[in-house]
Chain A
Amino acid sequence: MGSLVLEALAKRYGTSVAVQRVDLDVRQGEMVALLGPSGCGKTTTQRMVAGFVAPSAGRVLIGGVDVTQAPPHGRDTGMVFQSYALFPHMTVAANVAFGLEMRRVGRAERDTRVREALRMVRLDGLEDRLPRQLSGGQQQRVALARALVVNPAVFLLDEPLSNLDAKLRGEVRLEIRALQQRLGLTTLIVTHDQEEALTMADRLVVMDRGKVRQVGTAEELYERPANPFVAGFVGQCNLVEGAMEGTGMFRAASGALLPCAATPVPPGRHVLALRPERIEVTPAADGSARLRTATYLGPLTEYHLDLDGTPLLAIRPTPTAGEPLRRLSSGDAVTVSWDASAARLLSAAQPEELEP
């Protein structure tokens, strides 16, 4: 067990930059998620920790020891691969025993630890099966047991749930998290699925185009995004370009006026970030906004609105039969309102950052 520290870690392939700079301090027993769209550098970062990719600059420290130059077999990491990467010709027990064998653990102790690890992932009784005789979920648990049986200092998970079906994914997510907390594993998980990251990790690192955009807890990222990219990537968000006009009002590029209580106002062009669930929608004949479409999602309903040329998305609990909102149809006028403090003012992004 140990902490994991990344210092100014970077990877360039010729002139193209895979990872520009990552600084990260994962505490002992903490689970940190690298989150971002594909090509953001999260996988490259993790592979630099495992030793499969040599960094162009920076250092990797595991338990305080610099392992930047160490080969993969010389680092004490346990990795679960996206494809599980089980050894196809070895039984479940032999797969799990492999790491212990490499560490020259004696036969008797090896057998005990393999049995314990398999019991931990609830696969006892399947010791003699071959990987191809197991279901996807079982294969994944073998991969978990194989990585954990050696008590690695750092536990690495590469998109561990992406090959499971939706129902199983929810269960396994909770299982892995429980295991990680029980064993106090220092964990770095790579994922493109924000829900996975939000529910499993203590802290998230949002990456985009090789850069770290923000580091924080799920709540920090959702409530206080540092930039439009994070606001748009973590959860749904209305992002409106424009500038502050006087106190408490934001003038959108389209001309619409939106209340915003942000103070103090940083200079320059801005983006207003407003979560859709913070917008109240009221039917009113003289309302300034129009309903384009309403999408029924069961407990919630999405309202796609137009406020003087600015598209807005509002999400409300689905109204009951008697409520006036229920009778709303496309083209109807409505008023929209929100607590002025719910609208966050962010520095206008570079154009590239607005793309998802």
Chain B
Amino acid sequence: MPAELRDAPLTLPRSRAIVLPAFLRRLPSRLLIVAAFLVMLAPVVTVMTTSVFRDEIISFPPSGLTLDWYVNAWERREFARGFVTSLQVAALATCIGVPLGTAAAYAIVRGGLPGASAMSTLLLAPLAVPAVVAGTALYMFYLRAEFWLDRDIAATLESLVAAHVLLTIPWTVRLVTASLQGLDRAAEEAAANLGARPLTVFRRVTLPAMRSGIIAACLFSFIQSFENLELSLLLVGPGRTTLPVAMLNYLEFRVDPTLAAVATVQILLVAVLMLVTDRFVSIARTV
């Protein structure tokens, strides 16, 4: 339907209805879009700008600009160590969670299992549980397990990674399921009909269809884990603090733009990851 027709009033109450010019009629929706972007970007922009303000107490306008806070963040080893721990945990959780979630998604869509939809709901459940609650529950569970198994579990890297795997699975299941559902089942049958054995069908037809979903799942899993604060709170151990937890600890004693500097680095890393991923798969089309 052409724009003129769509926007035309259905009934004309008076013979001389006022017809606004096109740009005025579209103005409200355009303003709304701009406003939405401003609201979304405001915290990011605020954090990034304050990280270069000289004043310790944030004030506007700043008395000057400086990169000292970045130097301070670098010199405080807990941030560097937290950064490395977070990278480690996120990478490990992604490497474990994405294959598990992918296998689950494949079973749900192609397995022909009874209760497949119930299973998919169950696998999405971690999204619905507040992370603090999940973290607390896991902590209690780990303590129990320590008692029964008589070995260290809570506050180990392994248990932290296991917890973060829970963050990655719902995203993976959702994204990979969606990409698999986009594949015509007949394409797999066509491959078999042309002489491909089941494993070849999977490798040549099914897997490529899941590819964009899997790549997107890796990205989102990594980001979810890398930025997670609440789930990790009770699960980190001495010397194995993740970056968000290290930031919270710092905040308990001092409030200065050092945190803004750390957050800026974090934001930039995520932004770079998204841009790189977008080169391989169109995120807007996959998610």
Contact = CB atoms under 8 A, between A and B. Distances in A.
Interface of A: 50-52, 71-73, 77-79, 81-83, 85-89, 98-99, 102-103, 143, 146-147, 150
Nearest to B195: A102
Contacts, number: 64
Contacts of B237: none
B187 interface: yes
A150 B194 contact: yes
Contacts of B204: 87, 98
Q: Of residues B193, B197, B204, B205, which shows the largest number of chain A Cβ atoms within 10 Å of its Cβ?
A: B193
A51 to B, nearest CB: 8
B67 interface: no
Contacts of A71: 192
B200 interface: yes
14 contacts: A72-B192, A73-B192, A73-B195, A79-B189, A79-B193, A85-B190, A86-B187, A86-B190, A87-B187, A87-B190, A87-B205, A98-B191, A98-B194, A102-B194
Contacts of B211: 89
Contacts of A81: 186, 189-190
Contacts of A143: 190
Nearest to A94: B204
Q: Of residues A73, A79, A99, which shows the largest number of chain B Cβ atoms within 10 Å of its Cβ?
A: A73
B193 A78 contact: yes
Contacts of A103: 195
B186 A85 contact: yes
A98 B196 CA distance: 9
A88 B187 CA distance: 9
Contacts of A77: 193
9 A-B pairs with least C-beta separation: A102-B195, A85-B186, A99-B194, A72-B192, A85-B190, A81-B186, A89-B208, A85-B187, A79-B193
Q: Of residues B191, B192, B195, which shows the largest number of chain A Cβ atoms within 10 Å of its Cβ?
A: B195
Interface of B: 183-184, 186-187, 189-197, 200, 204-205, 208-209, 211
A50 B200 CA distance: 18
Given A89-B211, A102-B200, 6 more contacts: A72-B189, A73-B193, A85-B186, A85-B190, A98-B191, A102-B195
A79 B194 CA distance: 8
A27 to B, nearest CB: 22
A143 B193 CA distance: 12
Contacts of A88: 183, 187, 209
A89 B194 contact: no
Contacts of A52: 189, 192
A78 B186 CA distance: 13
A81 B189 CA distance: 9
B281 to A, nearest CB: 12
Contacts of B200: 102
A15 to B, nearest CB: 19
B189 A102 contact: no
A277 B191 CA distance: 48
A77 B209 CA distance: 25
A83 B189 contact: no
A190 to B, nearest CB: 14
A81 B186 CA distance: 7
A129 B273 CA distance: 30
B205 to A, nearest CB: 6
A147 B193 CA distance: 9
A72 B193 contact: yes
B196 A83 contact: no
Nearest to A156: B193
Contacts of B209: 88-89
A88 B211 CA distance: 12
Given A81-B186, A102-B200, A87 B195 contact: no
Q: Of residues B186, B200, B208, which shows the largest number of chain A Cβ atoms within 10 Å of its Cβ?
A: B186
Contacts of B192: 51-52, 71-73
B204 to A, nearest CB: 8
A300 to B, nearest CB: 38
A146 B205 CA distance: 15
Contact of B197 (A50, A73, A82, A86): A73
B208 A85 contact: no
A101 to B, nearest CB: 9
A338 to B, nearest CB: 48
Given A73-B197, A102-B196, A102-B200, A87 B186 contact: no
B184 A150 contact: no
Contacts of A99: 194-195
Given A85-B184, A89-B208, A102-B200, A79 B190 contact: yes
Nearest to A80: B190
Nearest to A74: B195
A78 B200 CA distance: 18
B194 A146 contact: yes
B193 A87 contact: no
B252 to A, nearest CB: 51
